[in-house]
Amino acid sequence: MGMVGGGKDAFIGAIHRIAANMDGQIELVAGALSINEELARESGKMLFLPEDRTYLNYEEMIHAEAKMPADKRMDFVTIVTPNFAHFAPAMLALENGFNVVIEKPITFTIDEARQLKKKLDETGLMLLLTHTYSGYPMVKEARQIIKSGRLGKVRKIYVEYHQGWLSKLSEREGNAQAAWRTDPKRSGKAGCMGDIGTHAAHLAEYISGLKITQICASLNVVVPGRLLDDDGGVLLRFEEGATGVLTASQVAAGEENALKIRVYGEHGGLEWAQQEPNTLTLRWLDKPAETLRAGNNYKAWESSYATSNCRTPGGHPEGYLEAFGNLYHNFARALSAKINNEKPDQEWLDFPGIEDGIRGMAFIDNVVASGQSDKKWFDHVV
Amino acid sequence: MGMVGGGKDAFIGAIHRIAANMDGQIELVAGALSINEELARESGKMLFLPEDRTYLNYEEMIHAEAKMPADKRMDFVTIVTPNFAHFAPAMLALENGFNVVIEKPITFTIDEARQLKKKLDETGLMLLLTHTYSGYPMVKEARQIIKSGRLGKVRKIYVEYHQGWLSKLSEREGNAQAAWRTDPKRSGKAGCMGDIGTHAAHLAEYISGLKITQICASLNVVVPGRLLDDDGGVLLRFEEGATGVLTASQVAAGEENALKIRVYGEHGGLEWAQQEPNTLTLRWLDKPAETLRAGNNYKAWESSYATSNCRTPGGHPEGYLEAFGNLYHNFARALSAKINNEKPDQEWLDFPGIEDGIRGMAFIDNVVASGQSDKKWFDHVV
Amino acid sequence: MGMVGGGKDAFIGAIHRIAANMDGQIELVAGALSINEELARESGKMLFLPEDRTYLNYEEMIHAEAKMPADKRMDFVTIVTPNFAHFAPAMLALENGFNVVIEKPITFTIDEARQLKKKLDETGLMLLLTHTYSGYPMVKEARQIIKSGRLGKVRKIYVEYHQGWLSKLSEREGNAQAAWRTDPKRSGKAGCMGDIGTHAAHLAEYISGLKITQICASLNVVVPGRLLDDDGGVLLRFEEGATGVLTASQVAAGEENALKIRVYGEHGGLEWAQQEPNTLTLRWLDKPAETLRAGNNYKAWESSYATSNCRTPGGHPEGYLEAFGNLYHNFARALSAKINNEKPDQEWLDFPGIEDGIRGMAFIDNVVASGQSDKKWFDHVV
Amino acid sequence: MGMVGGGKDAFIGAIHRIAANMDGQIELVAGALSINEELARESGKMLFLPEDRTYLNYEEMIHAEAKMPADKRMDFVTIVTPNFAHFAPAMLALENGFNVVIEKPITFTIDEARQLKKKLDETGLMLLLTHTYSGYPMVKEARQIIKSGRLGKVRKIYVEYHQGWLSKLSEREGNAQAAWRTDPKRSGKAGCMGDIGTHAAHLAEYISGLKITQICASLNVVVPGRLLDDDGGVLLRFEEGATGVLTASQVAAGEENALKIRVYGEHGGLEWAQQEPNTLTLRWLDKPAETLRAGNNYKAWESSYATSNCRTPGGHPEGYLEAFGNLYHNFARALSAKINNEKPDQEWLDFPGIEDGIRGMAFIDNVVASGQSDKKWFDHVV
């Protein structure tokens, strides 16, 4: 793995490194860790990177690594820069034969995302989009339960993602995270909806197996002086007649990272909340509610998606880093199978990719357009 | 108290009797308990009503009681019939000098509600509208906390009321409750939104102290063959720039009576859920979340609204019947003060009345109109 | 119902009146509400008792009522005085043909309890001992589940009852409740173990269906200056080889009324906590945990004990007062059946009585003796 | 790091590798992973160990590594074999100048533990005992809160560790974990009390800062045919007059890994449960309960122990592996400081070591002796 961005003090870069590293299959071998030279060098040292693979920009890294022998050079490039700086390194990596791991939202514009898809189709390379929450074992279990039909036809989906960390104008108070995420030039058209609304939308589609078809959005700039939405609510219509509601907020003061989803079908419903991720609650019309618990010794439902994404037995809580690790682990196994010309297990392929990236960009475009419009229902065209 | 409707086997009539009776201040002395003569008589006997005050219809009851001496006759009439049969007995009661307790939604049409208001204004009589949930001590505490300004200016309100009991077409399977509540002729224009959406809207306004000013509603008939909405989502705008989302569903299979509200201000947020009603959670931007617990020994915040609506010390859970009892208890104390020409305590007057009833009817009208319209935002005109 | 003790400001008297009154079957008709004459009169007035049935002491009440015609006089006497003043009025009531409702612990000494039993056996009268917690629907359900054998043979019982209200020396700071409950002359040999330990022991035996056979107790006086135990732990052995642990504390600072029980059998376990009493959790060796919820529409298990002790559908929380009301309601129905020479339903007879009272007194005796002894295991002889 | 034991399919070996690896500071460079040659080789390959450092037994590994240059050889040896096979490799490692990481209970007998201490004292080498639960950030915070005196003098400690996985005689049904843990020859004198009771005792002492001084234990063999205790309860006395209760069970059918602790002082209490480890609840006599939440952005209390043991902001749950990783991370930082002759931060030294190991062995000895004795209180002599 070679990393673009994520120098020391960057939040998400460190997360990616722990996640990639978790199962002992992936090693950080190269990095263009900062556009600041000194920082790039320091970060490389801190991470025990050899000096000659501590690059000062991504072009240098990609070109240099491409020239190395196959068994030496990095297998893929991980891009953890702010949104506006996703596309260029991703495209260059693909052009030079490297697979790509990339943060969401995938690019700055949907057009860029479409160009990446085209290149992926041409090259046959692989891309992992880190919609972390789909890496949780009980999220995978939820998806399998819906798929199995046990809850009946899906009728209703509530998904919410509430944070409070932007309750003040922190972008003007030296918070670097806040600064770029609320800046249209670095973040894109949407603030809250791009940063966390896309996660919520992805999760709703991932678990329910249904695509959003129409939206009616109300976006708000709650904190005076902010340049992008920091809050919003969206009425949703899905395929097959299901409906739903998505809310996302970064001004829900006191909330940490409260992503929660509930899906109801004809016979019952399920509920999962990211902050207690090892529990999945099933409620039924005609019998007591059931509490499913993550663990690699989990036997209650026959799906192996949950168990194969756990490292410990039930009661030894795994969390966010492990979920993130699952994305990398599955990606690595799928990549390894491809490299070795083996048929990958279906479960290894269960990670978000370019299609999810394009849908996410369309969600941003459409939700912003809907938010500005007097028309009630917008087709969620992708 | 004289009761209209609520014969044996009626759900809400029995609830009203327990609630009214709870604090030993109110006695059932007369009843027109059923339009079925036999049932009316049987119910009267079951409730130890004297035969001569077991009436066969409300007109008879109101006229007969009106002729009795003041210290003998009932002090007020409680109306627990289906919605379409609220107005006539309520108006007749007022015309004959009786105060009124009435189930929500207050009437079949908003015009009827306005007529009741006019009559109340003329007569100076009192009316209690049983929005039960505003009787819970921690709901009252929540309202006082918002009022105190501790959370800062209110920014965001999420209120949800999810039930699952109409997940099947129960109205065709002999469920009497389901039958009238899904019948436009008996229930009114709205199903779910009238039955529980009004509770949610009332709770949001009651706790936040802010009125809804605009709505954007999506109503659904989820169960095929049903005549009224059984589900819906509403984007909300409130006074003073707050926004919110209201969801109500009676097809959230597996849910019981899941009413929950969250209100966020500049400095923190609060959360209350009806199914665990003795707990109120406060979350803060800059300090640990706090869990406030109901109890008549509760001292954490200085508001006496919570303590004076509790009968037991903390840890002895009170519930739905006690909340209901609080409405009656406060109403009875206010009524008694009025009868005795005393100044009532402010806390006794803290029960829902005719204005809430009219707002509820307007909510039904507007939410149905919005649901049928392509226009995004509807003014919530009352 | 005639009441001994429980004048205004008394905690438990008011609770008894609400509970007795809840289902509209029981009326307070007489009272010897205080040994203070003025207080007795004032309390009678406050409770709308007729002056001629507002008695100044229990002897007067019992003798006067006994002379009244059967259809006029009180059906039973409720005794809500401090422990030391239970026996005399109870015995006098029985001697005069009145049934008795009595607070726990039943008497001051076990010998008194045995005398009551003898008198009950002679007279055939009925006695209700208000171990409130056995009135909760989910406690009854728990008992039925154990009885059904679904969990297999019972192996392990953990019961805990933790309060914090005696964390300071409140008995010296004007807290009347604290004053008598920590006073050996009014409370008896045990403080915490008599007041709440007996509840915990009763609950363990009631739910498990097993009697405690041996104990090993450690009692503590935690707050300096206190005269009776305010805390303790007891290792338990039960019939049929089960074991357990009971802890009771009134100095668990910050706890309200945290009574909780867990029972494990060969195939699974159950958990119930009084502060969220409408939920009963079942955990299983080989399948997901189940959450059973109280409600009169509850159908998950076929036992009618839970449903017939609920007044509302699931999701409308009932609490402590309703559990208390269930004791009275069942007692009243059993009494009424007896008076009418009808065969009572088994469920009506499911309330604590004299045998529970004697076991409670023996628990106090034995736990105090064990606490003072160097011997490890004490036979719990009754 | 060189590892003894922990070949593929071993539970705890894999956990150790993930934990050691988590923060990118520790690398597995050598292993004697199994006493089965083939398994040792296969495991080495699976873990990308070079062939020449894939040893076939620990003697070989320690001797070979000792001969390597300092900058090449492993820095410490991690021992993850069953209990009976802890001492020999640990002693050999120390004798050859290697620091040691070792699973609990530290040895087979307390005498072995004392020998290790002697050798550590002689050599000045370091030892980490993996009492994992003390690595959780909110456990560290709990300890700091007690230390700060905010809760006042500690009065009461309840600690429980309940599992259900030995509810059947799994040791005879091919469960390898069960087989050695219930075998006196491999596990030691105690079963449940050694395996998890020691964790509970350690946690109680770690958080409270108080040593256990006396015990009164009841150990049970619940499942017929089992050779060691699978359940037990212990009354505890601590320094400074505090008392407590410890329960441990591996036959609490349906429980996963339910370790929970509650500590009460004069002014309030705290509660922490391993299965939801990111939450620490504080309850107070005179104000609302508080919920502290883990996160590296956590600012509520000034202790940096919690924040410096978190990798993510609040709401991104960390779990068991991260807690385990904290032990390794702190050990590695302390070791690195020592190697570089720097003064370690106090927080780095906050990991369990030889003294905890000796106390754990004494706990096993004393609890077994007490369980077999008729004497009530046993001094917990170490």
- DSSP annotation string for C195-251: IIIHHHHHHHHHHH---EEEEEEEEE--STT-SS--EEEEEEEEGGG-EEEEEEES-
d(CA C116, CA C111): 9
User: Smallest CA–CA separation between C381 and chain D, in Å?
Assistant: 19
The reported pLDDT for the residue numbered A304 is 86
C157 in D contact zone (CB under 8 Å): no
User: Smallest CA–CA separation between B63 and chain D, in Å?
Assistant: 53
The SS3 of residue D170 is helix
Number of Cβ within 10 Å of residue C46's Cβ equals 12
B315 in C contact zone (CB under 8 Å): yes
B282 in D contact zone (CB under 8 Å): yes
Q: How many beta-carbon pairs under 8 angstroms link A with B? A: 130
Contact yes or no for C168 and D285 at CB 8 A: yes
Six token digits for residue B228? 């009224």
The reported pLDDT for the residue numbered C245 is 98
d(CA C30, CA C48): 10
Domain A134-316+357-371 indexed as CATH 3.30.360.10: yes
Chains that touch C (3 or more CB pairs under 8 A): A, B, D
d(CA A279, CA A290): 10
User: Smallest CA–CA separation between B55 and chain C, in Å?
Assistant: 20
Q: Which residues pair with C32 in a beta bridge?
A: C4
Residues of D in contact with A274 (CB under 8 A): 315, 317
Q: How many beta-carbon pairs under 8 angstroms link A with C? A: 28
Q: List, for residues C345-361, the tens digit of each pLDDT value.
A: 999 999 999 999 999 99
B317 in C contact zone (CB under 8 Å): yes
pTM: 0.97
Contact yes or no for D156 and C251 at CB 8 A: yes
C321 vs B275, B293, B311: nearest CB: B311
User: Smallest CA–CA separation between A269 and chain B, in Å?
Assistant: 6
Q: List, for residues D144-155, the tens digit of each pLDDT value.
A: 999 999 999 999
C48 in B contact zone (CB under 8 Å): yes
Contact present, C227 and C132 (Cβ < 8 Å): no
Residues of B in contact with C314 (CB under 8 A): 256-257
Chains that touch A (3 or more CB pairs under 8 A): B, C, D
Q: Which residues pair with D290 in a beta bridge?
A: B290, D282
Domain D137-314+357-371 indexed as CATH 1.10.10.10: no
Q: For chain D, state the CA radius of gyration.
A: 21
Chains that touch D (3 or more CB pairs under 8 A): A, B, C
Give pLDDT tens digits along chain D (382 positions): 999 999 877 778 999 999 999 998 899 999 999 999 999 999 999 999 999 999 999 999 999 999 999 989 999 999 999 999 999 999 999 999 999 999 999 999 999 999 999 999 999 999 999 999 999 999 999 999 999 999 999 999 999 999 999 999 999 988 888 988 899 999 899 999 999 999 999 999 999 999 999 999 999 999 999 999 999 999 999 999 999 999 999 999 999 999 999 999 999 999 999 999 999 999 999 999 999 999 988 665 657 888 999 999 999 999 999 999 999 999 999 999 999 999 999 999 999 999 999 999 999 999 999 999 999 999 999 9
Number of Cβ within 10 Å of residue D38's Cβ equals 10
B316 vs C22, C276, C320: nearest CB: C320
d(CA C79, CA C31): 10
What dihedral angle (degrees, nearest 10) is formed by the CA atoms of B195, B199, B200, B205?
A: 140
Contact present, B202 and B248 (Cβ < 8 Å): no
B297 in D contact zone (CB under 8 Å): no
| Closest residue in D to C242 (Cα–Cα) | D222
* Secondary structure percentages of chain C, helix, strand, coil, to 5: 40, 20, 40
Q: DSSP class of residue D28?
A: -
Contact yes or no for A289 and C287 at CB 8 A: no
Q: DSSP class of residue B342?
A: P
The reported pLDDT for the residue numbered C304 is 86
C283 in D contact zone (CB under 8 Å): yes
Residues of B in contact with A235 (CB under 8 A): 216, 218, 233, 235
- The model's confidence at residue C12, banded by pLDDT at 50, 70 and 90, is confident
Residues of D in contact with A318 (CB under 8 A): 319-321
- Taking 50 as the pLDDT cut, the residues of chain B under it are none
The span from the first CA to the last CA of chain D, in angstroms, equals 31
Contact present, B376 and A215 (Cβ < 8 Å): no
B247 in A contact zone (CB under 8 Å): yes
Strand pairing report for B378-379 and B212-220:
antiparallel
Domain B136-314+357-371 indexed as CATH 3.30.360.10: yes
Residues of B in contact with A155 (CB under 8 A): 222, 231, 251, 253
- The model's confidence at residue A244, banded by pLDDT at 50, 70 and 90, is very high
Tell me the mean pLDDT in the region C54-58: 96
Burial tier of C71 (Cβ tally within 10 Å: 0-12, 13-18, 19+): exposed
d(CA D133, CA A315): 13
The SS3 of residue C346 is helix
Contact yes or no for D290 and B293 at CB 8 A: no
Residues 6+ apart with CB under 8 A from B260: B159, B160, B161, B271, B272, B273, B274
Question: For the stretch D76-85, what's the b/e string if a residue is b when 16 or more beta carbons lie within 10 angstroms of its beta carbon?
Answer: bbbbbbbbbb
Contact yes or no for C275 and B17 at CB 8 A: no
What CATH architecture applies to the domain C136-313+358-370?
Answer: 2-Layer Sandwich (3.30)
Contact present, B102 and B1 (Cβ < 8 Å): no
**CATH code that applies to domain C2-129:** 3.40.50.720
C-alpha angle B313/B318/B323, rounded to 5°?
120
User: Smallest CA–CA separation between A119 and chain D, in Å?
Assistant: 33
Residues of C in contact with D252 (CB under 8 A): 156, 262, 264, 269
Tell me the mean pLDDT in the region C151-164: 98
B256 in C contact zone (CB under 8 Å): yes
For testing the chain D interface, which of A312, A329, A333 should be mutated: the one with the most D CBs within 10 Å?
A: A312
Number of Cβ within 10 Å of residue C79's Cβ equals 25
d(CA C164, CA D262): 13
Residues of B in contact with C311 (CB under 8 A): 14-15, 18, 321
The answer to whether residue A302 scores a pLDDT higher than 70 is no
The reported pLDDT for the residue numbered C301 is 62
The reported pLDDT for the residue numbered C298 is 67
Looking at A238-247, B173-182, C369-378, D206-215, which range is the least confident one?
B173-182
The sign one gets for the Cα dihedral B42, B46, B47, B50 is: positive
Q: DSSP class of residue B312?
A: S
The phi, psi pair for A220, rounded to 5°, reads: -130, 145
How many CA atoms does the CB half-sphere of D263 hold within 13 Å? 28
Contact yes or no for B289 and D286 at CB 8 A: no
Contact yes or no for C289 and A286 at CB 8 A: no
The reported pLDDT for the residue numbered D267 is 98
What dihedral angle (degrees, nearest 10) is formed by the CA atoms of D328, D49, D66, D105?
A: 40
| Closest residue in D to B290 (Cα–Cα) | D290
Ordered by start, the domain boundaries in chain B are 2-129, 136-314+357-371
C258 in B contact zone (CB under 8 Å): yes
C-alpha angle B275/B280/B282, rounded to 5°?
140
Contact yes or no for D233 and C243 at CB 8 A: yes
D322 vs A47, A293, A321: nearest CB: A321
Residues 187-216 of C with CB under 8 A from A: none
C372 in D contact zone (CB under 8 Å): no
For testing the chain B interface, which of D287, D298, D301 should be mutated: the one with the most B CBs within 10 Å?
A: D287
Contact yes or no for B254 and A167 at CB 8 A: no
Domain A2-129 shares a fold with domain A134-316+357-371? no
